[in-house]
Each structure stands twice: as C-alpha cells, then as structure tokens.
Amino acid sequence: MAGEPHEERRGPGARAALLALGVLVPIAVGFGIYAFGKEHTPDYNSGIYGQHGTDAVDLKARLGSALLCLVLIQYGLALWMFGRIPGVRAAPHPVRTGHRVLGYFLFLFSLPIAFHCLVTYGIETSSPRVAIHSFTGCAFYGAFVAKVIVVRSRRLPGFLLPVMGSLLLVGVALLWYTAPLWVLNGYSVPGFSSSSYGVG
C-alpha cells in the first residue's frame, strides 16, 4: 500500500526523536532541580508535616526508610511481572495494576521529603556525603521522568525499562544510605563519619 513505505521511512526518524526526548527531558529536569537548589537561599527553619529542626530530620529519615521499603516491594513486583523470579509464574493482571498504582504513590510520597531537602538545604557540596546526596536527588527525578517516557513508548528498546527501574532503585538506596541511615545510625555510616554533617 502507498502509505506503508512512508510509515517505514518515518519510523527510524520518529524513534530517534523519541530517544532524544527521552535523554534531553530527564537531563533538563535534573539540571532544573540542581539550578534551583544552587540559587535558592536555604531556609533552615522550614518544616515537614509540622516538624522542625532535628525533629524534622528524624521524621524525614523515617519517611526515607519507608520509601526505600516500598521501592523494594515495587522492584519485587516488577520482577514478578516479567517472570524474573525463579520458580514463580509471571504475575496476574491485578499485580500489574498494583505496581502502577504503587509507582504513582511512591512518586507522591517522595515529594514532601525532596521538597524539604531542597528548601531547607538547597544543593550542598560541603562534604562528599552531602554532595552525593544532593546530586543523586537531582538525578533521581530525572531518571523518574526517563522511566515514564520509556513506559509510555513502544518505540524505544525494551531493555531500557528494567535498566531505568534498576537505576531508580539504586538512586533511592543511595539517597537512603547518605541521609536516612546516616541519621538513624547516630550520624555515621561506613564511609561517612559524623563530621560530614549537612543534609539530614
């Protein structure tokens, strides 16, 4: 048919454009968060859910730990959905729906935590720990946008979805290690001592 060759010719270009979009938009999101954090004047009195100061830091550490647990559940559901758990059949449709709903909830759950970090501290580089935490936070939301683009597209390579999901898991784990665990462990974890105070 006359339309088919035209669609074939347009296909590679559309795929390349989508791939470029999938790279540029997440970078723009991550850089935008970084730029705001660098220019923003930290407000050390800002609170989260009515808590301020050290109480806010402690609450945020517990919320961050809960977030990591939920992300691990989300990752386990993804492995189940794609039949990657040995000896277990691929998940039924309700699990896919639950995975999607939990993903939206996780995003919304993370926003107050990230907002408090950004408003209270901005982007800090006063020590390796706070620098890693700050940069990972920026990259996390860029990676989240990239995952949404990958999920919504049928033109991008299939391997990108598990790659993006794994990156998000690693990002949350690194954020947890450099702040929530650090706080709950008496302001010290292997590799970062109590002298590296900053983002809580």
Q: So what's the pLDDT on residue 139?
A: 96
How far apart are the C-alpha atoms of 169 and 140, rounded to whole Å? 9
Two tokens, residue 6: 């035209």
Point out the residues of the chain with pLDDT beneath 70: 1-12, 194-200
Q: So what's the pLDDT on residue 4?
A: 42
How far apart are the C-alpha atoms of 79 and 103, rounded to whole Å? 14
Taking each helix axis from N to C terminus, what angle separates 53-81 and 93-121, rounded to the nearest 10 degrees? 150
Query: pTM score, two decimals?
Result: 0.86
Q: So what's the pLDDT on residue 47?
A: 95
Q: So what's the pLDDT on residue 145?
A: 93
Query: b/e map of 117-155 (b: 16 or more CB within 10 Å)?
Result: bbbbbbbbeebebbbbbbebbbbbbbbbbbbbbbeebee
Q: So what's the pLDDT on residue 197?
A: 54
Q: So what's the pLDDT on residue 140?
A: 96
